[in-house]
A and B are shown apart, each in its own frame.
Chain A
Amino acid sequence: KNQVEQSPQSLIILEGKNCTLQCNYTVSPFSNLRWYKQDTGRGPVSLTIMTFSENTKSNGRYTATLDADTKQSSLHITASQLSDSASYICVVRGGTTDSWGKLQFGAGTQVVVTP
């Protein structure tokens, strides 16, 4: 069973609207969580990285939240643009402050922004 589950699998939103993507994980112990954006035919690009002590981080119109107690994260896209059409991947790294565990990748949420 995948230790990182994302929802929804896909969504379609109108340009200018907001949306929120969810990520639930079971990785323990937890080191950090990151969100990547992957455009079609390209490699993933990092949007945010949060350690266990951070509960929110923004990158332009992207805001990620983290609740390490409930093992949930969300990525909020504000005022969506056509260029936001992409797959958004949640990635969790296990481990401790002394050693890193491996990265666990979610399957991604495919976002389509329509005019």
Chain B
Amino acid sequence: NAGVTQTPKFQVLKTGQSMTLQCAQDMNHEYMSWYRQDPGMGLRLIHYSVGAGITDQGEVPNGYNVSRSTTEDFPLRLLSAAPSQTSVYFCASSYTSTSGSGSYNEQFFGPGTRLTVL
């Protein structure tokens, strides 16, 4: 299994440009999500999906769109890039695990995309 893959690894955009960050997983996980990571801050949820055809907004959704046409893929679109969107973006997929102490959501992260908007 490749796990969670993201492309590209690095990207530089000019203000106003649009682009799509790709995310794919081969673990057949229903739940996928996008985060951004900024210095000195915890990861923040942008959008998430609980299954193909279902998406919802997270904590910081403005300026981003997502779609989930298949279980495997969850692309993130920047509609009109702004310098405030300079960040490292992580995609994650997860499944529910159940043990004697309860159930929880086991999450796997991709390697990240470092985006710079000039």
Contact A51 B107 (CB under 8 A): no
Task: Give the one of A51, A52, A97, A103 with max B CB within 10 A.
Answer: A103
Instruction: Pick the interface stretch among B12-20, B37-45, B62-70, B71-79.
Output: B37-45
Complex Cα gap A52–B59 (Å): 25
Contact B42 A108 (CB under 8 A): yes
Complex Cα gap A21–B73 (Å): 36
Contact A102 B45 (CB under 8 A): yes
Contact A49 B42 (CB under 8 A): no
Residues of A within 8 A of B41 (CB): 107
Complex Cα gap A100–B44 (Å): 17
Tell me whether chain B's interface is mostly helix, strand or loop, or mixed: strand
Q: Count contacts on B: residues with CB < 8 A to the other chain.
A: 22
- Min Cβ gap B114→A in Å is 8
Chain A's interface size range is 20 to 34
The chain B residue with its CB closest to the CB of A105 is B42
- Contacts A100-B105, A103-B45 aside, 20 further interface pairs with beta carbons under 8 A come to A2-B42, A4-B42, A41-B112, A42-B111, A43-B90, A43-B92, A43-B110, A43-B112, A44-B43, A46-B107, A46-B108, A51-B101, A93-B104, A93-B105, A102-B58, A102-B59, A103-B107, A104-B42, A105-B43, A105-B44
B residues with CB within 8 A of A: 4, 40-45, 58-59, 90, 92, 101-102, 104-112
5 A-B Cβ contacts within 8 A? A32-B104, A43-B112, A93-B104, A107-B40, A108-B42
